[in-house]
């Protein structure tokens, strides 16, 4: 009787794990279908594009901050030159 009981437990565990494994494999196959790969690639490309835009924006902000700092230092050393923030520096003409 014990052998039949444990045989039944083993058969049930084996059948359950087989069903679980089959579902897992099918879900992975569906996840790797061409349509799903396109969706996944599109999402990743969109995220990468947003990351690039954020990096460029941060770089430009840092550039403007540094440029304003350098302009302030330049104006402190050369009070007669009028270089305003947002204006490109043009050196004085030398006679």
Domain ranges of the chain: 1-32, 34-77
* Per-residue model confidence (pLDDT) at position 94: 53
Specify whether the CB–CB gap between 85 and 71 falls below 8 A.
yes
* Per-residue model confidence (pLDDT) at position 90: 58
pTM for the full model? Answer: 0.48
**Cα 28 from Cα 75, distance rounded (Å):** 64
75 compared with 18, residue with greater pLDDT: 18
Instruction: Identify the sign of the CA torsion 9, 13, 15, 16.
Output: positive
Q: Percent of the chain, pLDDT > 90? A: 57
84 compared with 22, residue with greater pLDDT: 22
């Amino acid at each position: 009787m014990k052998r039949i009981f444990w045989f039944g437990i083993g058969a049930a565990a084996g059948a359950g794990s087989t069903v679980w494994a089959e579902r897992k494999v099918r879900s992975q196959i569906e996840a790797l279908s061409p349509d799903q790969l396109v969706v996944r690639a599109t999402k990743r490309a969109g995220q990468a594009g947003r990351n690039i835009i954020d990096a460029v924006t941060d770089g430009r902000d840092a550039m403007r901050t540094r440029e304003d700092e350098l302009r302030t230092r330049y104006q402190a050393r050369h009070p007669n030159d009028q270089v305003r923030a947002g204006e490109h520096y043009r050196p004085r003409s030398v006679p």
